[in-house]
């Protein structure tokens, strides 16, 4: 080989042969098999060492601990209860120490029994009482090694396992419509979701609500969901779940109401409209709620009667008009005045929803500002005049005494802007002022 010339070129010529390619692939496959065998042997060896350590600990353990362990593993509930009480008694007279429990498998066995027993099993409360007894009798610097700490924490492991299970269920049903499984294959997941939505843990409830909302996107399962009474649980979670989950739940409800009226009555009976009353003023949710309400209103007079009974239609209308009044276009605000929306709009000032009242006060302030700058600026504000005529001043005076500081400040500020005019001045009417404003907007000059 020439000096200064590497030998990789010679080796590369060997790789071009198919025979050499097969040999190298076979060699890599054999090496992989040997590596996996070695890893398996290492695992077996580690387990053997752990078992040997436990055996050594058993030989050095307190004979009382060995007897108690045998009673715990016998399967007889009376003997199990007696063994726990005996441990507490022995610890009380210092015949058994916390160090003895840490060096044995007692705490892990108790934690495993706690997780595997039903919720209504009396043994669970006995185990909890024993762990609390251990924590009260533990001295400072007690040798609580990792085994004892893990055992004491395993009582909280149940909720963590359920959250992991719910996370797995959510991923299973995320793209369920792409695989088209049979309903009977998916229906067992409904029981898991239902138990999660009724759990005490708030995080578990949120995960279950999200899983339920995603499951609803598969229409084939709707009858099973209805039979399992999952829809009322989903509606009830609207008030307590996180904002991201609220979006997902509203999307699922919107999908149902768009597709079929079959479950509308179930949703309303579960308190859907009452939940909407509390969420309609949330800026991020209002549009989705309005879409759902439009679908519900299209289903007939009975549903509309329910919406009127809950005062939801008036709230939605007032909320919509409030947003129109915040527009920067003069034509939008002029349209609100042209349709004579001020009387019913100001009537909503007497509602008990503080957030909606604040929206209406902002809208009235925007209308007054529009009247001052665009409707005959040299004369009395016609918007102010009409507010006086429809009795808005009395409502504002009442709100100015509100305990809500924001309502108090805004109502008082609007009262100062409403003009008190003399009847003999004959102020210009609102209709005439709107006509003049439209003329000036069209021609660019005042009439």
Q: Report pTM.
A: 0.46
A 10 A CB-CB count for 36 gives 10
- Dig out the tokens for 435 from the structure: 């006509």
Cα distance between residue 138 and residue 99, in whole Å: 10
Cα distance between residue 335 and residue 320, in whole Å: 13
Every domain of the chain and the residues it spans? 21-59, 61-144, 159-297, 318-443
Q: In the prediction, which pLDDT does 435 show?
A: 46
Cα distance between residue 8 and residue 244, in whole Å: 58
- Dig out the tokens for 365 from the structure: 């302030």
- Confirm or reject CATH 1.25.10.10 for domain 159-297, answering yes or no: yes
State the first-to-last Cα distance of the chain, in angstroms, to the nearest integer. Answer: 104
pLDDT tens per residue, range 173-205: 877 767 777 888 888 888 888 888 887 777 788
Q: Mean pLDDT score of the chain, rounded to an integer?
A: 72
Percent of the chain with pLDDT strictly greater than 70: 67
The answer to whether 334 and 438 are in contact (CB under 8 A) is: yes
Round the CA-based radius of gyration of the chain to a whole number and report it.
37
Q: From the DSSP assignment, how many helices (H) and strands (E) are in the chain?
A: 27, 0
- The topology under which CATH files domain 318-443 is 1.25.10
- Dig out the tokens for 223 from the structure: 């009858």
Cα distance between residue 402 and residue 352, in whole Å: 12
Q: Which residues contact 425 (CB under 8 A, 6 or more apart)?
A: 380
Q: In the prediction, which pLDDT does 137 show?
A: 60
Alpha-carbon separation of residue 199 from 7, 206, 217, 412 (angstroms): 69, 10, 23, 47
- Dig out the tokens for 12 from the structure: 């590369």
pLDDT tens per residue, range 219-274: 888 888 888 888 888 888 887 767 777 888 888 888 888 888 888 888 888 888 88
Cα distance between residue 74 and residue 68, in whole Å: 10
pLDDT tens per residue, range 320-375: 777 777 776 777 777 777 777 788 778 888 877 787 788 888 888 888 887 777 65
| List of long-range contacts for 421-426, beta carbons under 8 Å, 24+ apart | 421/380, 421/385, 421/388, 425/380
CATH topology match: 159-297 vs 318-443: yes
Q: In the prediction, which pLDDT does 32 show?
A: 64
Cα distance between residue 344 and residue 357, in whole Å: 13
Cα distance between residue 371 and residue 376, in whole Å: 8
Question: Would the pLDDT of 439 be above 60?
Answer: no
């Amino acid at each position: 080989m020439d000096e200064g010339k590497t030998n990789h070129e010679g080796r590369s010529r060997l790789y071009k042969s198919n025979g050499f390619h097969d040999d190298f692939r076979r060699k890599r496959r054999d090496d992989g098999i040997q590596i996996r065998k070695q890893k398996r042997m290492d695992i077996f060896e580690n387990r053997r060492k752990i078992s040997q350590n436990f055996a050594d600990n058993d030989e050095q353990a307190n004979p009382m601990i060995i007897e108690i362990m045998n009673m715990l593993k016998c399967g007889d509930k009376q003997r199990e209860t007696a063994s726990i009480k005996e441990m507490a008694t022995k610890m009380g007279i210092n015949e058994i120490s916390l160090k003895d429990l840490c060096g044995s498998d007692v705490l892990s066995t108790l934690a495993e029994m706690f997780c595997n027993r039903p919720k209504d099993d009396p043994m669970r409360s006995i185990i909890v009482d024993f762990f609390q007894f251990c924590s009260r009798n533990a001295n400072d610097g007690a040798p609580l090694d990792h085994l004892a700490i893990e055992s004491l924490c395993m009582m909280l492991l149940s909720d963590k396992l359920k959250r992991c299970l719910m996370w797995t269920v959510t991923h299973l049903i995320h793209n369920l419509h792409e695989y088209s499984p049979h309903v009977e294959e998916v229906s067992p997941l409904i029981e898991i979701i239902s138990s999660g939505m009724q759990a005490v843990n708030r995080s578990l409830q949120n995960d279950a609500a999200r899983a339920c909302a995603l499951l609803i996107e598969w229409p084939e399962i709707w009858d099973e969901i209805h039979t399992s009474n999952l829809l009322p649980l989903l509606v009830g979670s609207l008030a307590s779940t996180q904002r991201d989950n609220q979006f997902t739940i509203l999307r699922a409800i919107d999908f149902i109401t768009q597709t079929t009226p079959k479950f509308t009555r179930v949703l309303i009976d579960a308190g859907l409209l009452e939940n909407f009353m509390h969420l309609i003023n949330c800026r991020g949710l209002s549009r989705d709620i309005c879409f759902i309400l439009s679908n519900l209103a299209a289903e007939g007079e009975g549903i509309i009667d329910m919406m009127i009974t809950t005062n939801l239609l008036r709230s939605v209308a007032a909320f919509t008009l409030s947003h129109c009044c915040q527009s920067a276009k003069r034509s939008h605000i002029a349209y609100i005045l042209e349709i004579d929306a001020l009387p019913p709009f100001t009537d909503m000032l007497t509602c008990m929803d503080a957030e909606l009242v604040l929206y209406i006060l902002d809208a009235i302030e925007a209308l007054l500002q529009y009247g001052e700058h665009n409707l005959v600026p040299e004369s009395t504000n016609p918007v102010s005049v009409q507010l006086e005529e429809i009795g808005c001043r009395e409502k504002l005076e009442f709100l100015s005494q509100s305990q809500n500081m924001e309502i108090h400040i805004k109502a008082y500020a609007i009262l100062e802007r409403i003009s008190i005019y003399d009847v003999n001045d004959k102020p210009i009417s609102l209709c005439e002022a709107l006509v003049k404003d439209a003329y000036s907007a069209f021609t660019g000059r005042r009439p």
